[in-house]
Amino acid sequence: MSEMTPIRAINQALHDEMTRDGDVVVIGEDVAEGGPYGATRGLVDDFGRDRVRDTPISEGTVMGVAIGLALAGLRPVVEIMFIDFITLALDQLANQAAKARYMSGGQLRVPLVVRTQGGAGVRSGAQHSQSLEAWLAHVPGLAVAIPATAADAAGLLIAAIRTDDPVVLVENKAMYYRREEVPDPLAPVPLGTAAVRRSGRDVTVVATSRLVAESLAAADALAGEGIDVEVIDPRTIQPLDEETIVSSVARTGRCVIAHEAVRAFGVGAEIAAVVQERALDRLQAPVLRVGAPFAPVPTSAPLEDAYLVGREQVAAAVREAMRW
Amino acid sequence: MARHVEVSSDLARRLLATMWLCRAFEEKVSELIANNEISGLVHLAMGQEGTAAAIAAHLDDRDLMFSGHRAHGHALAKGADPSRVMAEIAGRATGLCRGKGGSMHLVDVAHGFLGATGVVGGNVPNALGVALAQKQRRTGRVTVVFFGDGAAQAGHFLESLNLASLWELPVVLVCENNGYAEFTPRSAHTRVERVATLATTYGIATETVEGNDALAVHRAAAPFIAAAREGKGPALLECLTYRMRGHYEGDAVKYRDAAELDVWKAKDPLRILERQAAEAGWFGDADARAIERSARARVDEAAAYALASPWPDAAWLMEDVR
């Protein structure tokens, strides 16, 4: 093991994969300059401007070009600087990347990786802070990974690069600079496998991205109240590791789902539906969801703090589940 | 001179054969739709056969091609088996895409036809990416993408012009300007009369040509395709043509008058090429009719194959999702 921030782990994973496979290319705005967070820093020095290709601010067409590269057999990793701007590339993602293999009866493959980041908490306002992963998970043909640790940010990226179908990785900007343990060397994390972050008997908390660490903090606090919380991180929301979630809830009888995205029509709703479909007879309490209020992300500090959900909301939901 | 005549005669025969195949094929598709033997949303390119044949005549299986929603002719010209194209349009298991693509999403990787799309101009960026891969791998292959004048008003089209130019991509953008975007004449959508002028702004080589004159299209495309192969960057060829049918089969076409259609019927690309061949002394009407008969026979065979083919197995629904 070694210590690394998620952003450094992502950078190392890109470097490792580009070294391993000459077909891996990085493309996006400012990627040769390292990008605003440094995910692609230094790659151009080792791999040159053909493999680390800067683009104009044309997200839709850049996504389309990356899909073309993938159709031709390369393995592009396209960076969309903020997930808020993936809106501009949704046509390419949903209508071309996600459907090419299916519509062609399996003749075409699109080994495309999209790296992007979302999340609030850094006073960046409504157009640089969203959590839009649920949109992407709703499109058959796309895989959506949402890493919560440095090891997973790198490991899911490596697995995505080695996959022959499109994968979108939704990182979280607020977590980029935490120092964490990562395996040395970095290792792939298979898509569709959840991680049990903490074992517990009383309540299952299914949390994604930033809410994983928040849920673990809540679990520590709740342990003092005699509530034993299990925390599951799905790691990919599409495909979703239903087995791990359902078997946990079957043991605990209670389920809370926590994510940063707005609660309404979110990933939590899907997981809640899966749990009640598959484990209704084991449930001792309603499945509860923790998520943001149905509002854009405000910029001003007190407003954004009021918007964000965290350990307190998770703890409150767990206590609510325990009332039953 | 004799050699020139021979080459031209041979080319004219090849182009005419492809064009009659496309025409006969789409007449058959129209007939099968009328008989409820083909369903769904189908867009025909009758009247535009000259561009498909002329461009494809410059390419081989290793060159790559994309097209839009009016793509039957492009796929056929690129070498796709008419029987499997017809089966795909009819939704059968033996179709190019096992019935999962249909008329708007034909793909034939074996012949370098990487796909038609139902999103107007939506795969122009994909063509650029494929071209970029060819450039980086120094394959010498050219990528062609067909689109209509309607695509030229899309933001991603202008972004694509910029990138094709910036990266000097080996791509030839072929605009079939048939004067209508769906049901609306070009003049109602833009003050830019010629799509080629948009590309000129980005320093892309362009030419606007009579699209119903297949030999003229073939001549105009030649230097562009050669330049792309030699790594000299992209080009845009604008072919002025006309869609003899409506936007889709079933369109009542109330937005244009019969007189306009008559003008363009007189400029039918097949008749133009047959007249050119006769005037040049390459071949006469008897040969042209033999070419037509042969195409119709091939299409009858394709239709029979398609309609006799099994439907896809319901289990295929969940195959190739990812």
DSSP B191-203: S---HHHHHHHTT
Question: Is the sign of the CA dihedral B1, B3, B8, B9 positive or negative?
Answer: positive
B107 interaction partners in chain A (CB closer than 8 Å)? 103-105, 107-108
How confident is the model at residue B99, as a pLDDT? 97
Residue of A nearest to B125 (CA): A64
Strand partners, A217: none
How confident is the model at residue A11, as a pLDDT? 98
* A15 is an active site residue: no
Cβ pair A67:B320 closer than 8 A? no
Residue among B126, B128, B167, B168 with most chain A CBs within 10 A, to mutate: B126
Indicate the DSSP class of residue B150.
G
How confident is the model at residue A160, as a pLDDT? 98
- The mean per-residue pLDDT over the stretch B106-120 comes to 97
- SS3 labels along chain A: CEEECHHHHHHHHHHHHHHHCCCEEEEECCHHHCCCCCCCCCHHHHHHHHHEEECCCCHHHHHHHHHHHHHCCCEEEEEECCHHHHHHHHHHHHHHHCCHHHHCCCCCCCCCEEEEEECCCCCCCCCCCCCCHHHHHCCCCCEEECCCCHHHHHHHHHHHHCCCCCEEEEEEHHHCCCCEEECCCCCCCCCCCCEEEECCCCEEEEECCHHHHHHHHHHHHHHCCCCCEEEEECCEEECCCHHHHHHHHHHHCCEEEEEEEECCCCHHHHHHHHHHHHHHHHCCCCCEEEEECCCCCCCCHHHHHHHCCCHHHHHHHHHHHHCC
| Residue in A69, A107, A141 nearest the CB of B322 | A141
How confident is the model at residue B179, as a pLDDT? 86
Alpha-carbon dihedral angle through residues A159, A160, A161, A165, given to the nearest 10 degrees? 130
**pLDDT, tens digit, 9 for 90 and up, residues B252-271:** 888 988 898 899 999 999 99
Task: Say which range, A265-269, B16-20, B256-260, B311-315, has the weakest mean pLDDT.
Answer: B256-260
B320 interaction partners in chain A (CB closer than 8 Å)? 101-102, 105-106
- Judging by beta carbons within 10 Å of its beta carbon (0-12, 13-18, 19+), is residue B179 exposed, middle or buried? middle
A67 interaction partners in chain B (CB closer than 8 Å)? 125-126, 129
State the Cα–Cα distance between residues B181 and B268, nearest whole angstrom: 20
- The mean per-residue pLDDT over the stretch A23-40 comes to 96
Nearest-CA distance from B14 to chain A in Å? 28
State the Cα–Cα distance between residues B239 and B63, nearest whole angstrom: 21
**Among B243, B169, B246, B237, which Cα is nearest to B209's?**
B237
State the Cα–Cα distance between residues A7 and A176, nearest whole angstrom: 5
Residue among A26, A104, A112 with most chain B CBs within 10 A, to mutate: A104
How confident is the model at residue B257, as a pLDDT? 87
| Residue in A50, A63, A96 nearest the CB of B123 | A96
How confident is the model at residue B1, as a pLDDT? 43
Relative to beta strand B171-177, strand B235-240 is parallel
**Among A290, A287, A210, A277, which Cα is nearest to A252's?**
A287
State the Cα–Cα distance between residues A244 and B245, nearest whole angstrom: 56
Cβ pair B117:A68 closer than 8 A? no
A166 and A89 Cβ atoms separated by less than 8 Å: no
Q: How many CA atoms lie within 13 A of B309 on its CB side?
A: 27
Q: pLDDT-derived band of residue A1, with 50, 70 and 90 as boundaries?
A: confident
How confident is the model at residue A272, as a pLDDT? 98
Interface of A with B in 166-195 (CB under 8 A): 166
A110 and A100 Cβ atoms separated by less than 8 Å: yes
Residue of B nearest to A167 (CA): B322
Residue among A107, A142, A144, A240 with most chain B CBs within 10 A, to mutate: A107
Nearest-CA distance from B243 to chain A in Å? 26
- In the structure encoding, which two tokens stand for residue A133, read together? 């992963």
Q: B8 in helix, strand or coil?
A: helix
| Residue in B95, B117, B126 nearest the CB of A68 | B126
**Among B179, B298, B314, B148, which Cα is nearest to B244's?**
B179
State the Cα–Cα distance between residues B78 and B295, nearest whole angstrom: 16
Please state, rounded to an integer, the average pLDDT across all residues of chain B: 95
pTM summary value: 0.96
State the Cα–Cα distance between residues B120 and B106, nearest whole angstrom: 15
How confident is the model at residue B188, as a pLDDT? 86
Long-range contacts of A128-131 (CB under 8 A, 24+ apart): A128/A82, A128/A84, A129/A84, A129/A297, A129/A304, A130/A83, A130/A84, A130/A261, A130/A297, A131/A83, A131/A170, A131/A209, A131/A259, A131/A260, A131/A261, A131/A262, A131/A292
Q: Which of A15, A128, A138, A259 is catalytic?
A: A128
Residue reference for tokens 């930033």: A210
DSSP assignment of B38-57: S-S-----TT-HHHHHHHHT
- The mean per-residue pLDDT over the stretch A72-78 comes to 98
Residue of B nearest to A49 (CA): B136
Instruction: Give the full edge-to-edge strand order of the sheet including B64-67.
Output: B113-116, B64-67, B143-148, B171-177, B235-240, B205-210
- The mean per-residue pLDDT over the stretch A220-235 comes to 98
A76 interaction partners in chain B (CB closer than 8 Å)? 129
Relative to beta strand B235-240, strand A236-238 is unpaired
pLDDT of B3 over the 70 cut: no
pLDDT of A173 over the 50 cut: yes
How confident is the model at residue B6, as a pLDDT? 63
Residue B203: phi and psi, rounded to 5, are 75, 20
Residue of A nearest to B320 (CA): A102
A96 interaction partners in chain B (CB closer than 8 Å)? 117, 119, 122-123, 126
- The mean per-residue pLDDT over the stretch B273-286 comes to 96
DSSP run (H or E) holding B210:
strand B205-210
Distance of CA B261 to the CA centre of its chain: 20
- The mean per-residue pLDDT over the stretch A54-65 comes to 98
Nearest-CA distance from B308 to chain A in Å? 20
Query: Amino acid letter at A248?
Result: S
Please state, rounded to an integer, the average pLDDT across all residues of chain A: 97
Residue of A nearest to B62 (CA): A72
- In the structure encoding, which two tokens stand for residue A4, read together? 């690394």
Q: Is the Cβ of B119 closer than 8 Å to some Cβ of chain A?
A: yes
- The mean per-residue pLDDT over the stretch B131-148 comes to 97
Length of chain A, in residues: 324
Residue of B nearest to A238 (CA): B322
A108 interaction partners in chain B (CB closer than 8 Å)? 107, 109, 114-115
- The mean per-residue pLDDT over the stretch B53-81 comes to 97
Task: Say which range, A134-138, B124-128, B252-256, has the weakest mean pLDDT.
Answer: B252-256
State the Cα–Cα distance between residues A309 and A319, nearest whole angstrom: 16
- The mean per-residue pLDDT over the stretch B31-53 comes to 96
- The mean per-residue pLDDT over the stretch A23-30 comes to 98
Query: Using N-to-C axis directions, what is the helix angle for B214-229 and B49-56, rounded to 10°?
Result: 40
Q: Is the Cβ of A50 closer than 8 Å to some Cβ of chain B?
A: yes
Q: What is the ipTM of this complex?
A: 0.95
Residue reference for tokens 């290709």: A53
Nearest-CA distance from A264 to chain B in Å? 27
Torsional class of B297: left (φ above 0), alpha (ψ -120 to 50), beta (otherwise): alpha
pLDDT of A261 over the 70 cut: yes
B46 and B264 Cβ atoms separated by less than 8 Å: no
How confident is the model at residue B181, as a pLDDT? 85
- In the structure encoding, which two tokens stand for residue B185, read together? 């004449």
Cβ pair B162:A56 closer than 8 A? yes
A105 interaction partners in chain B (CB closer than 8 Å)? 95-101, 107, 320
DSSP run (H or E) holding B33:
helix B2-34
**Among A324, A276, A268, which Cα is nearest to A294's?**
A268
Cα–Cα–Cα angle for A295, A297, A303, nearest 5°?
A: 95
Cβ pair A67:B126 closer than 8 A? yes
